[in-house]
Structure 1
Amino acid sequence: MRKIAVIVGHNQISQGAQSITPIDRSELDFNSELAQVMLQKASDFNVEIRVFHREHQGSYRREILKVYGEVNEWDPEYSTELHFNSSVFTVSGSEVLSSGSRKSLRFAKLTQDEMVNLFDRKRSNRGDRGVKTRRQGRGALSLLSGNAPAIIVEPFFGSNRADCRRMNEIGIENLAIAYLTAMSKL
């Protein structure tokens, strides 16, 4: 059974992006529910997960170092941080960020493939934003602070009405199943 940490992005003070109708939720609220569904279904996929929540620490750096310190104490084989994207521009799609290590890249590719299939992004040949390596800049601290190979998943744009409608049609349970399917293939 794979042991995988699931980190809910953002915190009670800084809840992340706000999605538009029909989802109309912050990243924190949406991904907290997603993490609970994943936790309930994990054993069906031969995966053991533990959910970790980022807590406001006065600085982003302290927040990330604290939560990934807790993750390290649990000693998982992999970790994934849950998010969704947002932009002031009209942008759509799914992407996964990787630290660039071999295991992180493999986990990212498996997860991105599940997101592309779930959102039917292959059919439209649009919205597959791919796997992106981050060694510095936005997201890099989360990818590099833990001992386990890490990824950050951005399955849709909360600022894009079509992405939000599609996510609403898919349902949070099916999104959880897509994450767990990727994990089960590791």
Structure 2
Amino acid sequence: MKIALVIGHNKRSKGAYSQIVGSEYDYWKRVAEKIKTVVPELVDIYEREPNEYYTREMYKVLEELNSKDYKLCIELHFNAAENKMANGCECLVYYTNDKAKKLATNFMARLQNVFGSKIRGRNGIIEIQDSKVRGGYGICKSKDTYILVEPFFGTNNDESLKYSVESDVVNLFVNFIKEI
């Protein structure tokens, strides 16, 4: 069974910006395409087509996602903060989905082991109950297990530098995908 990678943001709204890796959209588009070249049989990539509103963009993505069966859907983002020293990883999941929590915990442990990432908060898990909350649309509207990942802060140059070696990021994702 395949994994769906949903690229955070799009050409119109590129998301957070890092002086090291560029915009969320550009960074994750490159990384997702590289993952797909390594394991094409295991990955489908989804991208939000620019529209007037975020919910219209995500509605179309979820319509297509929900027409198929995925082992996991991963929405790809990175964080930003005014405090340039903010750091660490976190994952957003549906509050009652224990499978998503377990997979997110596994994913963040890998980030910690490979990149030395700090897990934010108590356990790095942000539980989402409402589709109108930041990042909640895909999490709440997907019929499959869905995780929104925020592996690092693009505004933290030291942290971004670790994630600028895209082959390392690709390898982390490929290993995660193969092992789950």
TM-score by length of 1: 0.87
Residues 68-104 of structure 1: CA deviation (Å, up to 9, x unaligned): 1111123212100111110112301111111130221
Aligned to 1:54: 48
Aligned to 2:33: 36
Paired letter, 2:158: A
Percentage identity across aligned positions? Answer: 28
Q: Distance in 2 between matches of 1:104 and 1:115?
A: 16
Aligned to 2:7: 8
Q: Distance in 2 between matches of 1:93 and 1:140?
A: 20
Q: Distance in 2 between matches of 1:48 and 1:64?
A: 22
Q: Contact between 1:118 and 1:175, CA under 8 Å: does it hold in 2?
A: no
Q: Secondary structure at the match of 2:18?
A: coil
Q: Distance in 2 between matches of 1:144 and 1:183?
A: 22
Q: Distance in 2 between matches of 1:185 and 1:131?
A: 21
User: C-alpha displacement at 1:151, in angstroms?
Assistant: 0.3
Are 1:91 and 2:82 matched, yes or no?
Answer: no
Aligned to 1:66: 60
Aligned to 1:150: 146
Q: Distance in 1 between matches of 2:34 and 2:140?
A: 26
Q: Secondary structure at the match of 1:79?
A: strand
Gaps of 5+ in 2: none
- Among candidates 70, 73, 76, match of residue 79 of structure 1: 73
Q: Distance in 2 between matches of 1:105 and 1:185?
A: 16
Q: Distance in 2 between matches of 1:95 and 1:81?
A: 12
Residues 25-70 of structure 1: CA deviation (Å, up to 9, x unaligned): 1111000001011101126xxx611001011221111111111111
Gaps of 5+ in 1: 122-126
Q: Distance in 1 between matches of 2:150 and 2:158?
A: 15
Paired letter, 2:119: D
Residues 105-139 of structure 1: CA deviation (Å, up to 9, x unaligned): 12211211111112123xxxxx2112221223211
How many residues in Structure 1 have an aligned counterpart in Structure 2? 173
CA RMSD, 1 decimal:
1.5
Aligned to 1:138: 134
Q: Distance in 1 between matches of 2:82 and 2:138?
A: 24
User: C-alpha displacement at 1:185, in angstroms?
Assistant: 2.9
